[in-house]
Structure 1
Amino acid sequence: MTESAASTAHAETTTDWRAWQESWDRQQEWYLPDREERFRVMLDMVEAVVGPEPRVLDLACGTGSITSRLLMRFPGAVSVGVDQDPALLTIAEGYFAGDDRATFVSADLTDPDWTAALPHDSYDAVLTATALHWLRLGPLATLYGQLAGLVADGGVFMNADHMKDETTPRINAAERAQRHAAMDRAKAAGVLDWAEWWALAAEDPVLAAPTARRFEIYGEHADGELPSLDWHARTLRAAGFAEARGVWASPSDSMVLALR
């Protein structure tokens, strides 16, 4: 066994990947208390449109939160997760090790040739949540055009994310105040926030190096934008999808579904 292989084997026996996966979920739920609800509706619509055994692209997959829920609900599904974050991909690969239904690929979604890294040319469903707001409008519109070429005829794309309606400033302010008050109460009870979670990852002997690389790639946070649900639907139709509209909304977020 090589030194590298021995190091990997040691990591697999000493790192609790499930604990890291669950820790990521709890941290994300602090920001998104209805996170599981959006996943449920997303999978409801996958089943409604393409059935219970889809080939799925988990776009900007992170630790594989969507893939995890997909495979629990639909044992006959397969998922390809794509992300550029080396730390979150390390957790995903560790968590799903041994499950041949899940594959993970490292790629930069702003690279014009990122789809060349994927193992398949088409997918029944492309799913993403709370990730594409890292992109500005130009790169996001370009990505939507690329996705129109990846989704099979009759297939579906869904994006659940922050989709801000600038025409309702008073509603937005009231919602934000209510949400942040609840977050403050949870924080006082000991919930980890984004920065604290990443600080723990940086101290972990297995995740320290990929976490350092992650911050070299992204910095603290990318300078993205928050277009409205209407913008997403219009841009997806212009990109080549036959239909697109919202299928779920919380007071702060929405989910757009586009049918190929």
Structure 2
Amino acid sequence: MNDISDSNDVATAEAGTGADWGAWQDSWDRQQEWYMPDREERFRVMLDMVKALVGTAPRVLDLACGTGSITARLLARLPDAVSTGVDLDPALLAIAEGTFAGDDRVTFVTADLKDPQWVTRLPYDSYDAVLTATALHWLHSEPLAALYGQVAGLVRDGGVFMNADHMIDDSTPRINAAERARRHLRMEQARAAGALDWAEWWQLAAQDPVLAGPTARRFEIYGEHADGDTPSAQWHARVLREKGFGEARPVWCSPSDTLLLALK
């Protein structure tokens, strides 16, 4: 396993100043890019569509926000935006809250998206855009469909929901197998060059004096990794229309991932 000095210099800051949140953000991004090399392109298209559909000063809900990856890119691209991040993971939320401390454009809420009452904890009743990436595949199809109904209630008329995630078409098994083999070969090459995987990143977090406690609580909540579903883009589009969106379709895809947009 790589040590801290070989992992994007993830470390605690000088004594008395807490964790180096910028280093942790960078390390999280590199770990995620090991799985999704097109991750930044997904974010670019997502924010292109936000700007095109709801303007340059949107009120955004960063759903299952993690470390605030979407919020960071949103504010860099659209500095007049405001963002509410919602998540349950105490370690990733600690990084998000540390990163955006003092920025009054950003609010974070701790809530379980499987709890029907999570929407009552939000600071606003409606949003111009609800955005999420690489998170909702942790849910099974039934609770995900229920969540989509709640999201439809939060998005204003004319507003948007976008989900960038793994969306698997089971009707193309040979194509899926070829894509998986290609992706795993690239990941093995990156590993040989020193990339961290999911498990190694969390081992580093558990060693950090500031993140050790939140990381332990995180594994009490989730275990090693949640076991959800990855239905097709067609399933997502159909369910979103059934739940109240007027239009829904992919606006970007890679061989393994899809960015699906629903318009209220």
Give the TM bin, normalised by the shorter chain: over 0.9
Q: How do 1:139-178 residues align onto structure 2 when only pairs under 5 Å count?
A: 139-178=143-182
- Kindly provide the CA deviation profile for residues 196-243 of structure 1, in whole angstroms up to 9, marking residues without a partner as x: 000000010000000000000000111100100000000000001111
**In the TM superposition, what is the alpha-carbon distance from 1:12 to its structure 2 partner?**
7.1
CA distance in 2 between partners of 1:213 and 1:205 (Å): 14
SS at match of 1:13: coil
* Residue in structure 2 matching 1:21, options 25, 47, 62: 25
- Kindly provide the CA deviation profile for residues 7-46 of structure 1, in whole angstroms up to 9, marking residues without a partner as x: xxx9871311000011000000000000000000000000
SS at match of 1:159: strand
- Kindly provide the CA deviation profile for residues 85-110 of structure 1, in whole angstroms up to 9, marking residues without a partner as x: 00000000000111111111100000
The reply to whether residue 86 of structure 1 matches residue 90 of structure 2 is yes
Q: How do 1:182-221 residues align onto structure 2 when only pairs under 5 Å count?
A: 182-221=186-225
* Residue in structure 2 matching 1:130, options 134, 137, 147: 134
CA distance in 2 between partners of 1:26 and 1:144 (Å): 29
Q: Percent identity?
A: 76
1:64 maps to what in 2? 68
Root-mean-square deviation over aligned CA pairs = 1.0
The reply to whether residue 109 of structure 1 matches residue 113 of structure 2 is yes
2:36 maps to what in 1? 32
CA distance in 2 between partners of 1:77 and 1:69 (Å): 11
TM (normalized to structure 1)?
0.95
Moved over 6 A (4+): none
Gaps of 5+ in 2: 1-13
- Kindly provide the CA deviation profile for residues 104-128 of structure 1, in whole angstroms up to 9, marking residues without a partner as x: 1100000010001100000000000
TM (normalized to structure 2)?
0.94
1:7 maps to what in 2? none
1:6 maps to what in 2? none
Could you tell me whether the CA contact under 8 Å between 1:90 and 1:207 is conserved in 2? yes
CA distance in 2 between partners of 1:106 and 1:30 (Å): 27
Gaps of 5+ in 1: 1-9
CA distance in 1 between partners of 2:85 and 2:158 (Å): 21
Paired amino acid for 1:225 = D
Give the length in aligned residue pairs. 251
The reply to whether residue 98 of structure 1 matches residue 98 of structure 2 is no
Could you tell me whether the CA contact under 8 Å between 1:11 and 1:206 is conserved in 2? no
CA distance in 2 between partners of 1:36 and 1:14 (Å): 28
**In the TM superposition, what is the alpha-carbon distance from 1:255 to its structure 2 partner?**
1.1
